[in-house]
Amino acid sequence: MFPLIRRGATEPELGRIRRDVVRSVVDCAMTRGDGWLTPAEAQTLVEGVGLSIASTHLATTAEEAASAAREIGYPVALKAVGPEIVHKTDVGGVVLNIADEMHLREAFPALRSRVGDRMTAAMVQQMVPDGVELLVGVVVDPTFGPVIACGSGGVLVDVLHDTAFRLHPLTDVDAVEMIDSLKGVALLRGYRGQEPCDEQAVVDALLRISALVEICPGIQELELNPLKVLPSGARAVDVRVRIGHRLPGSATRRISY
């Protein structure tokens, strides 16, 4: 059965999509079985569909972290990585705005001590300028299949409950309506004299995530949170992707219809 396209809506042709790259990432990961992609795999996946992500390097020692930070440039963020860590902030696994190497070398062992054995490495990540934080993602519903999400993001995503959903595949009209329906859209449009943010970059991100799901049906759950929307463009700061050979019984983030 072909998807129903609403009158006046289109599924735009998107450039800068490397289909072979994203398929290879998921196919290789599937050989390990169902589960979460590594941070490096997730980054390659979203970059493969033309999305921008904050420059990130993986480090297992303070020395490696310092070398990565010198390459990226300060300030940086330090984030705990491990197979049991899904939401980094829940385990105290994030240190932001590290200004120099001295503070980075102090932060690395402190982070490892706080998170414990769950931390197998750390991400050293470029700090992204202040922007409006959104969530863009997808979950696979047992009945409806892939469902694309867009909402107010950051650490308060489960408190604000400001999220819109549409069935895959998305059209340009779907993406615009999702953004329009959010309470947080006022922040995108320049709340109280702030500079408006790039809404078209959010539309583009939503369409590219929908395209990714089409290319890689093994994706069961994906979340860009936060996606920082800037006056020009948008950059993902954190990416989580779960793959599987079968539909999950439940997702880690609840869908509210």
State how far the Cα of 163 lies from the Cα of 103, in Å rounded to an integer. Answer: 37
pLDDT level of residue 5 (50, 70, 90 thresholds): low
Residue 169: is the preceding peptide bond cis (ω within 30°)?
Answer: yes
**Rounded mean pLDDT, 48-57:** 95
Question: At residue 4, does pLDDT exceed 90?
Answer: no
For every residue of 221-236, DSSP letters joined together read EEEEEEEEE-SS-EEE
For 128-176, write each residue's pLDDT tens digit.
988 999 999 999 998 899 999 999 988 767 777 899 999 999 999 999 9
Question: At residue 28, does pLDDT exceed 60?
Answer: yes
List, in order of start, the domains of the chain with CATH numbers: 19-52+130-243 (3.30.470.20), 56-126 (3.30.1490.20)
Helices 172-180 and 199-215, packing angle to 10 deg: 130
State how far the Cα of 249 lies from the Cα of 235, in Å rounded to an integer. Answer: 31
Determine the pLDDT at residue 8. 59
Determine the pLDDT at residue 175. 96
The residue behind tokens 């001295």 is 102
Determine the pLDDT at residue 124. 97
Distance of CA 109 to the CA centre of its chain: 26
Amino acid occupying residue 23: R
**Rounded mean pLDDT, 18-22:** 96
Determine the pLDDT at residue 50. 97
